[in-house]
């Protein structure tokens, strides 16, 4: 049963018809069983000339979205037309529910609200919004409506193709201007076989570009960003910048970030190189390109981009040629002011969940290179990063704490490391072993330390790719330790024998050869230790590894003197 387009228009022109509207039956799917919803999708996807239908639908969705905030009484006609073409349109039913509520047609409003809720439940049941299990639906407008129904504002989006979804939409959103940016993924792959005229098969794949061009022509910012990103990868920067600039008009965080990257890349080219990649016929100077990169990073930051906060913060600290920055407050001049602004950006990114920003700041305070050395600041920032439950941050903090007996962790490390270890993280197992070996944050126990070391090696050996660094660290620790309970030279030699004989990629690695030699020396075979150590020195010299040659030579002299390495 349908409300015709003609009757919808009459509703807007006559107060008498507004009253009659309350008894008019309208399009709805709320009476369908959940399993029957597939038929509503098929009604849309199996239409002839689907590409033209898609153009009409996207145009109608754009109009409905524009009218929704400005002229709710104008929603009737385009929303009815939208539902006429696509009975499973979340956007269409939501708009019609609002429209009929506005004109006091409660029965019709209720039917469309029920249809909206049924479709919404159906979409939410199709996945969890992750990249591995995206929600399945048929339009970006429906995806945006679903995100907005969670009380969030859209700040960016892009279409992608991967092994699990031939056409996947990533939408970025946040609850307010001080909250982190959330990611939601949607699978629109069902559109592709419909575009090609094939039978609609959820498992089928197809070329997304015809679909993306239709969406881009309808001012879909995510489609324009996808085309721009693809062209940038092909090094077709002139076209890429054009598409990304169109995408950025819709306040697309990702478009601004990609533009910033392109302009920064161009700013680092020589004049001849720059002439071949710049989009304008009038070549921009290095300073102009740098300023464009900064401007787009600032726009992305305004939309909540922690990646741009991190990038711009690092540039302000590391590049003395960075131009003055004005974020609407006061320009940033001078080394001290730029440094303070950089720290502010990095701390802001950290407060929004960007662990890498906190780790970078912590490392700078620890080294005292670009920032004043401060163990207290480093400890605080490492702890803040670890509390984000970022694996790299947790392990980095544990190694930082283990490096000095004076340092006390500002957050419980053992539970965080054990959680990672339970997930199979071999490096977390090694770090747990280090903490037990040193008695840091937990009672010292060489026995438990060795148990964690062996678990880490077992995990690595069972992995298809393996991790030579883990085996090397464990073998070195169990070979050179000055703690009796940690000395396991036989085991250390066995795991190094296995790795060095089966992993060709590490057979000319000076550090690994050094460890391998040390295990033989610890087991009394100095002839083999000397042979391996000379091999380590040989590769270090031909690789120009001046950072390790002296220590390798010292170890060789120890082996030649019949002495083990002890730390």
pTM of the model: 0.82
**CA trace torsion 49, 54, 60, 62 (10° rounding):** -160
Tokens of 262: 């392109």
pLDDT at 130: 95
pLDDT at 41: 76
Nearest of 356, 405, 404 to residue 382 by alpha carbon: 356
Q: Which residues contact 117 (CB under 8 A, 6 or more apart)?
A: 30
pLDDT at 18: 28
Paired strand residues for 160:
168
Judge contact between 474 and 495, C-beta under 8 A.
yes
Distances, alpha carbon 194 to alpha carbons 53, 60, 210, 277, 392, in Å = 10, 19, 12, 37, 44
Q: Which residues contact 122 (CB under 8 A, 6 or more apart)?
A: 34, 37
pLDDT at 426: 97
Residue 182 is inside which H or E element, if any? Answer: strand 182-187
Query: What does 79-125 look like in DSSP terms, one character per residue?
Result: HHHHHHH-TT-HHHHHHHHHHHHHTT-HHHHHHHHHHHHHHHHHHHT
DSSP 170: E
pLDDT digits (tens, 9 = 90+) for 355-405: 999 999 999 999 998 999 999 999 999 999 999 999 999 999 999 999 988
Which residue is it, tokens 């598409």? 243
Distance CA 156, CA 75 (A): 25
Tokens of 118: 């049924």
Average pLDDT of each block of 10 consecutive residues along the chain (567 residues)?
34 29 41 58 84 93 84 88 92 93 92 92 94 95 95 96 91 94 95 74 66 93 97 95 95 96 89 58 80 94 96 90 61 69 95 97 96 96 97 97 91 96 97 95 94 97 86 97 93 97 94 98 97 97 96 97 93
Distance CA 19, CA 64 (A): 24
Q: HSE of 82 in the Cβ direction (CA atoms, 13 Å)?
A: 27
Q: Domain extents for the chain?
A: 5-219, 486-567
Phi, psi torsion values for 173, nearest 5 degrees: -150, 165
pLDDT at 7: 36
Paired strand residues for 533:
none
Phi, psi torsion values for 199, nearest 5 degrees: -60, 140
pLDDT digits (tens, 9 = 90+) for 200-258: 444 445 689 999 999 999 999 999 999 999 999 999 999 999 999 999 998 999 999 99
Judge contact between 391 and 428, C-beta under 8 A.
yes
Judge contact between 91 and 68, C-beta under 8 A.
no
Distance CA 449, CA 437 (A): 5
Say how many residues make up the chain: 567
Nearest of 534, 429, 508, 423 to residue 473 by alpha carbon: 429
């Amino acid at each position: 049963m349908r409300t015709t387009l003609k009757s919808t228009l009459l509703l807007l022109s006559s107060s008498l018809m507004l009253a009659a509207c309350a008894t008019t039956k309208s399009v709805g799917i709320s009476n369908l069983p959940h399993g029957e919803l597939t038929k509503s999708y098929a009604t849309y996807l199996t239409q002839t000339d689907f590409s033209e239908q898609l153009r009409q639908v996207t145009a109608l969705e754009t109009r409905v979205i524009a009218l929704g905030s400005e002229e709710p009484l104008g929603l009737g006609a385009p929303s009815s037309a939208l539902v006429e073409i696509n009975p499973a349109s979340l956007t269409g039913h939501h708009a019609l529910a609002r429209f009929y509520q506005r004109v006091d047609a409660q029965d019709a409003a209720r039917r469309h609200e029920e249809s909206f809720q049924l479709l919404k439940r159906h979409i939410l049941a199709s996945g969890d919004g992750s990249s591995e299990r995206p929600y399945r639906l048929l339009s970006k407008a429906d995806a945006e409506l679903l995100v907005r129904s969670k009380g969030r504002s859209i700040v960016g989006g892009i279409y992608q193709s991967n092994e699990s979804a031939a056409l996947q939409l990533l939408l970025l959103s946040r609850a307010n201007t001080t909250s982190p940016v959330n990611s939601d993924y949607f699978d629109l792959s069902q559109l592709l076989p419909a575009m090609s005229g094939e039978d609609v098969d959820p498992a089928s794949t197809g070329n997304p570009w015809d679909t993306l061009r239709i969406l881009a022509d309808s001012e879909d910012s995510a489609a324009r960003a996808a085309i721009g990103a693809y062209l940038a990868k092909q090094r077709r920067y002139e076209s890429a910048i054009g598409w990304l600039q169109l995408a950025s008009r819709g306040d697309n965080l990702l478009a601004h970030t990609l533009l910033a990257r392109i302009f920064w890349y161009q700013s680092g080219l020589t004049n001849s190189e720059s002439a071949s990649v710049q989009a304008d016929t009038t070549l921009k100077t290095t300073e102009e390109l740098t300023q464009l990169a900064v401007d787009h990073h600032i726009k992305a930051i305004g939309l909540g981009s922690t990646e741009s906060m991190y990038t711009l913060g690092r540039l302000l600290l590391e590049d003395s040629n960075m131009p003055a920055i004005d974020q609407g407050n006061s320009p940033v001049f001078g080394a001290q002011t730029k440094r303070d602004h950089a720290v502010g950006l990095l701390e802001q990114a950290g407060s929004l969940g960007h662990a890498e920003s906190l780790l970078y700041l912590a490392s700078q305070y620890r080294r005292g290179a670009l920032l004043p050395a401060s163990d207290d600041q480093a400890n605080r920032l490492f702890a803040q990063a670890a509390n984000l439950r970022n694996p790299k941050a947790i392990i980095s903090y544990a190694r930082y704490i283990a490096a000095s007996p004076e340092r006390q962790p500002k957050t419980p490390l053992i539970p965080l490391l054990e959680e990672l270890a339970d997930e199979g993280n071999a490096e977390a197992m090694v770090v747990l072993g280090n903490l037990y070996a040193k008695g840091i944050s937990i009672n010292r126990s060489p026995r438990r330390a060795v148990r964690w070391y062996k678990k880490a090696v077992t995990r690595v050996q069972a992995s298809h790719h393996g991790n030579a660094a883990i085996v090397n660290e464990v073998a070195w620790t169990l070979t050179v330790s000055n703690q009796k309970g940690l000395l396991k030279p036989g085991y250390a030699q066995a795991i190094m024998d296995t790795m060095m004989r089966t992993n060709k990629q590490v057979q000319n690695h000076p550090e690994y050869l050094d460890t391998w030699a040390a295990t033989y020396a610890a087991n009394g075979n100095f002839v083999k230790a000397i042979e391996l150590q000379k091999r380590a020195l040989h590769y270090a010299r031909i690789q120009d590894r001046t950072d390790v040659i002296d220590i390798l030579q010292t170890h060789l002299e120890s082996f030649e003197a019949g002495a083990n390495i002890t730390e």
